[in-house]
Structure 1
């Protein structure tokens, strides 16, 4: 049960109606610290790339890119993100498409607060209990993505915020090189990133884990080797 504000989970709320979105954000702020919003599927795709959310709540009928197409694009990159779809439609066509996208819940408008809260609690529990949260980096190092903790030889190693964010981003995309732009958006957020600052950050992580944990492809980006 959600009783205190959660500061670990990032939520992306997608809704084209301004009043509905504002009311929902106000409700979510009772339980979560990190809430982001988008007014259509196209903006949502950009926000998804920038923040790498843990939970997505999206409407279906939206301009530019609808909710199901947005989630379909998300699923091509991230199989673990928790998704709640909200819609005023109960057409069989939508339901069948939604099933294929591994949704946590399919909620009908008007949304009841208790139903949304129950769905969010399910999402948070799924994140907490997911075996994919515990990542073995090497023989002596383990990283817990949900709790943001690094253990080396069973000893807790303190990570700075940017170190945690970079490690999480690389692990979420461990099958490819993460571009400099993606790293800047996710780790530096609204501030500019320099190549020297990124190199220093990578150096600190390597010192704490191992020198071979992260590799660089010049002109492309960084990749984690796990």
Structure 2
């Protein structure tokens, strides 16, 4: 495990059983930068919104708001946070509901330190992978090719399907200009690309990114301008 990176991360542990939560938090405090705790899903959402943890470990069966519904809500707003579900349930319906939530792990209780460390290790690797794909568009805005969101001042800006294809293309080839032909082949491989279609796509996307992010190279194509710190 990348222990050094884990020491820089914030973990939220969600569990309604006080003794279980206390023991887990005590252990996690030894290996993480900061450990937050919540006793139910509603409290966890408030803490997530305020503190933005890097990893969430949650039980399913809790009062007020269960772990799956809590995770579903958080995942709709945040694609980057790593989520580990810990539960006594082995029912297939629970497993199928959990799959759609892009979890790191679905841990069946009792949870040993070995199981937990393995799940945390996988979380760390995913966080490292995500960071590799993050490109700064300005001091306060970035595009992450992993989560496929533009984030400005902690607000995630959703993109259309074609905008994602275009931004991914620009992001993965940000060191050079993409030709019109490359753009057409990637976004309109069958119907072909009209000048109106590309202009409309770029016009809509420019409203969502900082000014000057997408540069048109006349007669050639488009290039992504990366912000240099």
> Same fold judged by TM-score > 0.5?
yes
CA distance in 1, matches of 2:53, 2:34: 9
After superposition, the Cα gap between the structure-2 partners of 1:73 and 1:56, relative to the gap in structure 1 and judged at 3 Å, is same
| 1:60 aligned residue | 60
1:39-78 to 2 correspondence within 5 Å?
39-78=39-78
CA distance in 2, matches of 1:108, 1:28: 18
After superposition, the Cα gap between the structure-2 partners of 1:31 and 1:144, relative to the gap in structure 1 and judged at 3 Å, is farther
| 2:96 aligned residue | 96
2:151 is the counterpart of 1:175: no
1:137-216 to 2 correspondence within 5 Å?
137-138=137-138, 170-175=152-157
Q: Contact 2:42–2:64 at 8 Å: present in 1 too?
A: yes
Moved more, 2-11 or 45-54: 2-11
1:59-138 to 2 correspondence within 5 Å?
59-131=59-131, 134-138=134-138
The DSSP-based 3-state class of the residue aligned with 1:75 is: helix
Cα distance per residue 1:170-193 (max 9 Å; x no partner): 4542429xxxxxxxxxxxxxxxxx
2:13 is the counterpart of 1:13: yes
Structure 1: 5+ residue stretches without partners: 146-168, 177-210, 214-225
Deviation at 1:132, TM superposition (A): 6.4
Q: Contact 1:11–1:56 at 8 Å: present in 2 too?
A: yes
Deviation at 1:133, TM superposition (A): 5.5
The structure whose Rg is larger is 2
How does the TM-score come out when normalised to structure 2?
0.61
After superposition, the Cα gap between the structure-2 partners of 1:104 and 1:82, relative to the gap in structure 1 and judged at 3 Å, is same
CA distance in 2, matches of 1:142, 1:89: 40
After superposition, the Cα gap between the structure-2 partners of 1:133 and 1:31, relative to the gap in structure 1 and judged at 3 Å, is farther
Q: Contact 2:11–2:53 at 8 Å: present in 1 too?
A: yes
Q: How many residues are paired up?
A: 156
After superposition, the Cα gap between the structure-2 partners of 1:37 and 1:141, relative to the gap in structure 1 and judged at 3 Å, is closer
After superposition, the Cα gap between the structure-2 partners of 1:93 and 1:16, relative to the gap in structure 1 and judged at 3 Å, is same
Structure 2: 5+ residue stretches without partners: 145-150, 159-209, 213-226
Once superposed, what is the RMSD of the aligned Cα atoms?
3.0
CA distance in 2, matches of 1:170, 1:117: 33
